């Protein structure tokens, strides 16, 4: 591996001079500078990031952490992060595992964006500091070095359900996501509130516990179909589960929306193709904004107020007009 020493030797100068050139210091003659730059190119010298950050403690790399590979919109979040990061001369590394804790210190990365729920609050609180800010997605934390970027789940879910009720639907089933997650709680609460405002009763037996995966929506629909009477509409806490449910209905000759309407949440790629009524979350923007706040915080412009992103309701053919 070619190091700064090799460059120095070939140029007939000291390592400090090479370092000065590479870091754009003023105190180098143009002649020396050019010679060194030329040699670096010839050797295709790449500064060793380990040595660099070990010494300087400063860092132009941020970390993104996620781990759920079933949710394809995560790529859009990454895209948003990547774009902002590149436009601001930072680098991005992504970790898919809890081991990323190893990289969460300011000699390797300058800050993190955390999406993975497996990364626990107290771990983040321990790691976050004045010179290691963190941005968390989809969870709200109160800490002077941690900023939350969350989607406003409540308002669009409430409005979507109100829209469904306005279209004549009167009885509902609900397929929930992981019960401990904040977004699932918020979506369910909005659903219940919308029903209550409209004086519609909701029975606990109409609640199905899922895990945001397609299979769990499929299973919920299977169970639902065992009951004597279907609700007018099955509300699912995300698209994956809604799609699973639609597949189950299809397999059993139950028509959507004639026999039962279905709604989701996320507006994933499949939602459009399947005509699923859902809430569209601006994922690219979510990543972009998270990266912006993180880098601003790294640069000392501290701001840890929770940021709420608004989402958009999309009515498609999975909800019709109930006569």
Instruction: Give the footprint of DNA on this chain (CB under 7 A).
Output: 1, 3-5, 12-17, 19-20, 22-23, 26-29, 31-33, 46-48, 50-52, 54-58, 107
Helix (H) or strand (E) holding 262: strand 261-263
What residue ranges bind its own copies (CB under 8 A)?
Answer: 1, 44, 46-51, 53-54, 67, 69-70, 72, 74-76, 78-79, 82, 86, 91-97, 99-108, 126, 129, 269-270, 273-274
User: CB 105 → DNA: shortest distance, Å?
Assistant: 9
User: CB 81 → DNA: shortest distance, Å?
Assistant: 25
Rounded Cα distance between 310 and 153, Å, is 8
Of 1 and 273, the one with the shorter C-beta distance to DNA is: 1
Residue 72 binds what, of its own copies, DNA, none (CB under 5 to 8 Å, by partner type)? its own copies
Q: Tokens in use for 47?
A: 């500064």
Residue 79 binds what, of DNA, its own copies, none (CB under 5 to 8 Å, by partner type)? its own copies
CB-CB contact of 101 with 76 (8 Å): no
Rounded Cα distance between 59 and 56, Å, is 8
Residue 23 binds what, of its own copies, DNA, none (CB under 5 to 8 Å, by partner type)? DNA
User: CB 65 → its own copies: shortest distance, Å?
Assistant: 11
- Closest C-alpha among 96, 137, 135 to residue 295: 135
Of 101 and 159, the one with the shorter C-beta distance to its own copies is: 101
- Closest C-alpha among 157, 156, 146 to residue 306: 146
Of 102 and 312, the one with the shorter C-beta distance to DNA is: 102
| Torsion on CA atoms 105, 107, 113, 119, rounded to nearest 10 | -30
Number of Cβ within 10 Å of residue 26's Cβ equals 5
First CA to last CA distance, the chain: 74
User: CB 146 → DNA: shortest distance, Å?
Assistant: 22
User: CB 158 → its own copies: shortest distance, Å?
Assistant: 28
Concatenating the DSSP letter of every residue in 40-104 gives HHHHT----HHHHHHHH----EEEEE---TT-TTHHHHHHHHHHHHHHTT-EEEEE-SGGGGGG-
Of 119 and 157, the one with the shorter C-beta distance to its own copies is: 119
Helix (H) or strand (E) holding 175: strand 172-176
- Closest C-alpha among 222, 239, 164, 217 to residue 194: 164
Of 73 and 103, the one with the shorter C-beta distance to DNA is: 103
- Closest C-alpha among 198, 206, 208 to residue 159: 198
Of 3 and 163, the one with the shorter C-beta distance to DNA is: 3
User: CB 60 → DNA: shortest distance, Å?
Assistant: 11
Residue 171 binds what, of its own copies, DNA, none (CB under 5 to 8 Å, by partner type)? none
Mode of pairing for the β-strands spanning 312-314 and 278-280: antiparallel
Residue 94 binds what, of DNA, its own copies, none (CB under 5 to 8 Å, by partner type)? its own copies
Residue 27 binds what, of its own copies, DNA, none (CB under 5 to 8 Å, by partner type)? DNA
């Amino acid at each position: 591996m070619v190091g700064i020493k090799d460059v120095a030797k070939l140029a007939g100068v000291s390592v400090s001079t090479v370092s000065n050139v590479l870091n754009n210091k003023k105190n180098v003659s143009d002649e020396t500078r050019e010679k060194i730059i030329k040699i670096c190119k010839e050797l295709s010298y790449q500064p060793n990031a380990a040595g660099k950050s070990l010494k300087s403690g400063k860092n132009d790399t941020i970390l993104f952490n996620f781990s759920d590979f079933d949710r394809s919109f995560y790529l859009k979040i990454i895209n948003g992060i990547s774009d902002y990061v590149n436009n601001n001369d930072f680098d991005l590394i992504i970790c898919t595992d809890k081991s990323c804790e190893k990289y969460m210190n300011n000699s390797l990365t300058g800050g993190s964006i955390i999406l993975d729920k497996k990364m626990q609050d107290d771990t983040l609180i321990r790691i976050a500091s004045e010179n290691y800010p963190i941005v968390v997605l989809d969870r709200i934390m109160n800490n002077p070095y941690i900023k939350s970027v969350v989607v406003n789940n409540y308002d669009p879910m409430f409005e979507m359900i109100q829209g469904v009720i306005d279209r004549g639907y009167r009885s509902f089933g609900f397929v929930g996501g992981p019960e401990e997650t904040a977004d699932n709680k918020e979506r369910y609460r909005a659903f219940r509130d919308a029903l209550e405002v409209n004086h519609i009763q909701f029975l606990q037996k109409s609640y199905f516990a899922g895990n945001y995966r397609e299979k769990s929506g499929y299973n919920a629909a299977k169970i639902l179909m065992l009951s004597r009477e279907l609700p007018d509409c099955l509300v699912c806490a995300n698209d994956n589960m809604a799609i699973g449910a639609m597949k189950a209905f299809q397999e059993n000759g139950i028509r959507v929306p004639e026999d039962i309407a279905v709604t989701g949440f996320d507006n994933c790629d499949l939602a459009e193709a399947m005509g699923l009524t859902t809430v569209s979350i601006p994922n690219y923007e979510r990543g972009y904004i998270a990266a912006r706040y993180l880098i601003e915080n790294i640069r000392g412009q501290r701001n840890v107020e929770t940021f709420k992103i608004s989402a958009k309701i999309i009515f498609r053919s999975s909800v019709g007009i109930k006569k």
